[in-house]
Amino acid sequence: MQQAYKLSFLQKIIQSQKVKLDVDFCLRLGANFPIIYDLFSQLYPNEDFEKQLENLCKILFIHYNERSEELKKIDIERVKNPDWLLSNNWIGMMLYVNHFSGNLKNFENKIPYLKDLGVNLVHLMPIMDVSENENDGGYSVRNYREVQANLGTIDDLENLSKKLHTEGMAIVLDFVLNHCADEHDWAIKAKNGNEKYKKYFYFHKDRTIPDQFDRELTDVFPQNAPGNFTYIPEINEWVMTIFHHYQWDLNYRNPEVFIEMMDILLFLANKGVDIFRLDAVAFMWKELGTNGLNLPQVHSLLQLIKLCGKIVAPSVAYIAEAIVRPNEIIKYFGENQFQADECDIAYNATFMALCWEALATQNVSLLKISMQNIPKKPLRTTWINYIRCHDDIGLGFEDDFVYSLGKEAHLHRKFLLEFYCYNSPNSWAKGLPFMSNPTNGDARISGSMASLCGLEKAIASKDNYEIVLAVSRINLLHSIILSYGGLPIIYSGDEIGTINDYSFENKLDKKHDNRWVHRPIMNWEKAEFRNDKKTIEYKIFQNLKHLIEIRKKETLFSDYNSIAFEESFDERVLCFLRWNRNNERILVIQNFTSDTIELKYAIFSKLNWEKQFAKDIVSEIEYSTEKVNLKPYGFLWLKE
């Protein structure tokens, strides 16, 4: 379609509106509308697509008009500084509000704690209204416009966001867009046979199509939610439920669904959300004969979201929660004309899983070779670097690299599962197998950072040396996420070494999902020990706090893709280099073993290190490059 046609179509829509639109908005609308038109017509090529597109535009007008002046000011600031996300200043923490502060109102009282550590980006795990029964930790939303009653109200969310903004902090919120709860109004209407709302989901009258889908789609929760369809007795039909039976997949083949969800996203953006974590995006488009993951239409949907957001709320950024193969993850940053124009942030899931792999094997080869082969992400996008989150750890690395190191991939995964979950004799870790599949031996790993690092076992056996080692492992992992390129996100509780919480085993709605073992309630008494030098909490919290302070001062740690893995001449040691435009460099060196290691001088000569010494900016110790020793699980941030 001609550009001129698209713009005259847009003009007609604008003229039919009564709302007032200012210059900023019109410029952004004019610049982005032609692409929206193209994407929308490709996704929804039926006759009434222009009518639907008009509905979409009306939503953009309404939300722009409702957006507060304060938020519009932030919009302008971030448009002027599009690299705001790449800054070394951001330090994130993810947390369940009920586990952290009880509710949204009380969150304000905990801001000083976050500031003490240096956290300025808070990811509030799903807070929107969910059913009281099972709700997959909040990822099954009943009402997207209301907050869970026990956490507060939508006004509390808005007030909290204002407060955080005045403190120079920002807020991340989940947007659970692949599916809604079976108790959502749309699902209830569909269950009652309402044809309009049935089209919001994927319904089938018998098992013919569901059986075909089931042959291709992978089971996300094979143990407690096998299959991808649920029988709905009220209308004697089957509905698609890729995750749990109560999470109904939304049908994005219907443009009305897209418009509804865009409407909700902008409503929440206007409550002051800075970053949306777009949940389970890889699953958003379904097609028979495929595995239903990462289809091209998913990318078109995300590009549309980004473009609509750019018009109404350009300061808002988007995280792709796509825990898929590295070559697929990278596509969520946008390709070709959409490079750096789809999601701004993605989870560095491979890196996370491989850090655990390297700790268990005491060998960094697989980590290094895998990371070196991940395609470069576009500039202006960034990774979330994390060690633990609320989900399990999937061993999602590429088999070919395992084979290239002379190992058998299946046996290697088996070794790791035994190491982390099945109490293998040489292991310090205490985790649980998640979704184990007895037929092929596959499983993922649950467990808190501290327990997987050995703290739980060491405390139980009152072994002081093991405690020291466990704390060193935790500190090492924190050092990695704070120095690698991207946004570090700490899981709440890890900063004080919180071990596994087995109380979920006695809770009816949680006992079948052992991810709850690593979603503990914040222990504020334990947090007080962070100021007592003799304690474990002190040793973890203060180390992390110190690293955060250094990271914030050092702009070399901002993420301009300025990172490269370097030769360490020792398989136990990981080295990567960070640099900036002024040719300043920091060499990060990490020992993944309990050995004391003397570094090879070759590391420095290969890098043409100019000086004969190197200063560790963490300890302020200056080393001669001829003689650098690494303590067990030690790390150095060496500045040239």
- How many residues touch ligand GLC under the rule CB under 6 A: the total is 10
Q: 182, 249, 279, 466: which one contacts ligand GLC (CB under 6 A)?
A: 279
Residue type at 265? L
Is 139 among the residues that bind ligand GLC (CB under 6 A)?
A: yes
Q: What is the DSSP string of 335-372?
A: -GGGTTSS-SEEE-HHHHHHHHHHHHHT--HHHHHHHH
What is d(CA 445, CA 418) in angstroms, rounded to the nearest whole number?
A: 10
Q: Nearer to ligand GLC by C-beta: 139 or 333?
A: 139
Instruction: Find the binding residues for ligand GLC in span 174-193 (CB under 6 A).
Output: 176
| Residue position matching structure tokens 């409550």 | 271
Contact, 639 vs 584, CB < 8 A?
Answer: yes
Segment contacting ligand GLC by CB under 6 A, of 5-13, 85-93, 134-142, 229-237: 134-142
Segment contacting ligand GLC by CB under 6 A, of 72-80, 100-108, 131-139, 561-569: 131-139
Q: Nearer to ligand GLC by C-beta: 285 or 428?
A: 285
Is 386 among the residues that bind ligand GLC (CB under 6 A)?
A: no
Q: 280, 346, 536, 599: which one contacts ligand GLC (CB under 6 A)?
A: 280
Rounded to 5°, angle at Cα 621 from 616 and 623: 80
Burial 206-228 (b: 16+ CB within 10 A, else e): eeebbeebeeebeeebbbebebb
Q: Write 270-273 long-range contacts (CB < 8 A, 24+).
A: 270/63, 270/66, 270/67, 270/68, 270/71, 270/313, 271/154, 271/157, 271/158, 271/161, 272/71, 272/157, 272/158, 272/160, 272/161, 272/162, 272/164, 272/165, 272/171, 273/161, 273/171, 273/172, 273/173, 273/316
Q: Which residue's Cβ lies closest to ligand GLC?
A: 139
Residue 538 CB, nearest distance to ligand GLC (Å)?
32
What is d(CA 390, CA 436) in angstroms, rounded to the nearest whole number?
A: 18
Print the binding letters for residues 316-335 with ligand GLC: x by CB under 6 A, - otherwise.
Answer: -----x--------------
Q: 391, 418, 442, 566: which one contacts ligand GLC (CB under 6 A)?
A: 391
Segment contacting ligand GLC by CB under 6 A, of 58-66, 136-144, 287-295, 598-606: 136-144
Residue type at 14? I
Q: Nearer to ligand GLC by C-beta: 136 or 640?
A: 136
Residue 425 CB, nearest distance to ligand GLC (Å)?
32
Q: Nearer to ligand GLC by C-beta: 224 or 612?
A: 224
Active site residues: 279, 321
Q: 137, 292, 314, 485: which one contacts ligand GLC (CB under 6 A)?
A: 137
Instruction: Find the binding residues for ligand GLC in span 231-260 (CB under 6 A).
Output: 243
**Which of 473, 466, 426 minimizes the C-alpha distance to 452?**
473
What is d(CA 258, CA 256) in angstroms, rounded to the nearest whole number?
A: 5
Is 95 among the residues that bind ligand GLC (CB under 6 A)?
A: no
Q: Which residues bind ligand GLC (CB under 6 A)?
A: 136-137, 139, 176, 243, 279-280, 321, 390-391
